[in-house]
Chains A and B, each alone.
Chain A
């Protein structure tokens, strides 16, 4: 990062970046745990994911406040301003990802409590979840290193998740047509798959923000991001 006359300012900026990446680490863990718990049916893990959502919310509020304070006190310009603005957007994305993770966990819980397992726990869902958490990890790595190439790679990977989501959908439709008793279970799995797909979208948003910080170009809703689905 650039050198400022005030060493303290540098320190504050780095601190915010470290804190948001810490929050990212927590959310990363949540997503992975939620997806694994869906496949393994581990109830403790699901409960843990749901429980740690509060922690993520608290971090969101804290980091947002830090950003506001920093703008008010230091009046950052150029790249520093972009960094602070982007971070306050990324915080929102990460908080949403946390919500999705606990949604996956809650749905898995519900599926588990339902007891019936007319539809096998599709390995595609697990695969899709791994893809999404890889993307999330990639986007946070690119934020840590301010690496535009890595960010672009993350944006490119979103297509794979969309394809995987569509494949899951087709499979579930087949189950539902064969046996209407599977419908409620299939719908729950669709919710889970949708949540995973949204995690991929949020990871894309984070990567776009990284490009914005480094190059100052806002690529949201542009050609690179055109294949993205709209905010649900």
Chain B
């Protein structure tokens, strides 16, 4: 039997048959007229009943809850049950699609690159979270907005309408000024465009650092080379030079070559320090011994122009002696170079609050606050002219910083213009060797001023 046929039978059985039966009964008892009346009333009742169920269905369909299917028997009951079953299945399928869509969009939000899907008219259709950070495009606020209206950087509109596959467009972000993004438009499907934004700030910075470094090195090498080559030209012309002059030129030339040598040495040291993470070998260093050595060097460098004071009250130190010697020596020679004659320089090693502190304090020219964070940059000079006069390569503090980093120590700089500077290297407690301190303390207890 077909579905329609089954339904017809059902209607006949539940609707038509009772009414007709009732009517026949009434007709038999009260006469034909009453029989017809009963038919009319019976059908009216049936229609009213059906209408009520229809109204129930309409009410239920507005907010269908599978649990509260209107309770009606017969044909309507089956309709309700079928509908509710279908709704349940649909809801389950929808939930599945939703959850997979959610995990997909979560994945897209986790992508560090900004992604924006654009329609043919360059309207925003979809964007991930990174696009909000990079370009300020957030959904649902900006759905349907035209991208050139939101990303207004000059040249971007031309880039977007240009040929596909061209080199990326660089956007100086307006939201966070210091950042640079590279934007690339890729065709997506037949009509859409995918705009990918990449944060290239760091790459750009590294690039800039590399090129300034190369420029600095060439400049630093070129200056002495120019001097030397200038003198060499003179040397070709023998007659024009007295022996004294010749001697003087030779002296100046060897001075310049020494400068180049020390620059190259420093560069090599720096690149070696950068190449390895940790010192090749470590030993327990007797700090009293090291400080005595530093003092001897300082005295020869100062040649009696400064008052030197050295004190060693701290424990021994674990580390690479050569490297630390070079780092401390750098700090000391800086102090001597930047302190005018008659000034005072104090070199100390002591234990303070569990931290080993090597400090070099001078009464020199001092450094303005804005220069301090940049001092350890390569070739950074507070005063271009003077520091080269005093023979620095511009790499000293960069080397110091690297060496200290390898020893997990921090470089702290306190200074004020005119009030002198204090450079401190602070070593963590586990680098200290207290068993060596007795000898050191006995040595260092009596402060020996080396002034004249």
Contact = CB atoms under 8 A, between A and B. Distances in A.
Interface of A: 14, 17-18, 21-22, 24-26, 28-29, 32, 137, 140-141, 144-145
A28 B174 contact: yes
Contacts of B153: 25, 29
Given A22-B157, A26-B154, A144 B174 contact: no
**Interchain residue pairs A-B with the least CB separation, the first 6:** A25-B152, A144-B149, A21-B149, A26-B154, A18-B148, A21-B152
Main secondary structure of the interface of B (DSSP, over half): loop
Contacts, number: 40
A26 B152 CA distance: 7
Contact of B150 (A14, A28, A32, A144): A144
A17 B149 contact: yes
Nearest to A15: B146
Contact of A22 (B141, B142, B145, B148): B148
B136 interface: yes
A21 B146 CA distance: 11
Nearest to A25: B152
A132 to B, nearest CB: 13
Nearest to A130: B177
B145 A14 contact: no
Interface in B112-155: 136, 141-142, 145-146, 148-154
A76 to B, nearest CB: 19
A130 to B, nearest CB: 8
29 contacts: A17-B146, A18-B146, A18-B149, A18-B157, A21-B148, A21-B149, A21-B152, A22-B148, A22-B152, A22-B157, A24-B152, A25-B151, A25-B152, A25-B153, A25-B154, A25-B156, A28-B152, A28-B174, A29-B153, A29-B154, A32-B174, A32-B177, A137-B174, A141-B136, A141-B150, A144-B145, A144-B150, A145-B141, A145-B142
A18 B177 CA distance: 23
Nearest to A20: B149
Given A14-B146, A21-B148, A21-B149, 18 more contacts: A18-B146, A21-B152, A22-B148, A22-B152, A22-B154, A22-B157, A25-B153, A25-B154, A25-B156, A26-B152, A28-B174, A29-B153, A141-B136, A141-B150, A144-B145, A144-B149, A144-B150, A145-B142
A140 B152 contact: yes
Q: Which of B149, B174, B177 has the most CB of A within 10 A?
A: B149
A66 to B, nearest CB: 15
A25 B157 CA distance: 11
Nearest to B150: A144
A141 B136 CA distance: 10
Contacts of A22: 148, 152, 154, 157
B369 to A, nearest CB: 14
A137 B177 CA distance: 12
B122 to A, nearest CB: 9
Nearest to B148: A18
Contacts of B174: 28, 32, 137
Contacts of A26: 152, 154
Interface string B35-71: 0000000000000000000000000000000000000
Looking at A24, A25, A32, A145, which has the most chain B CB atoms within 10 Å of its CB? A25
Contacts of A140: 152
Nearest to A143: B149
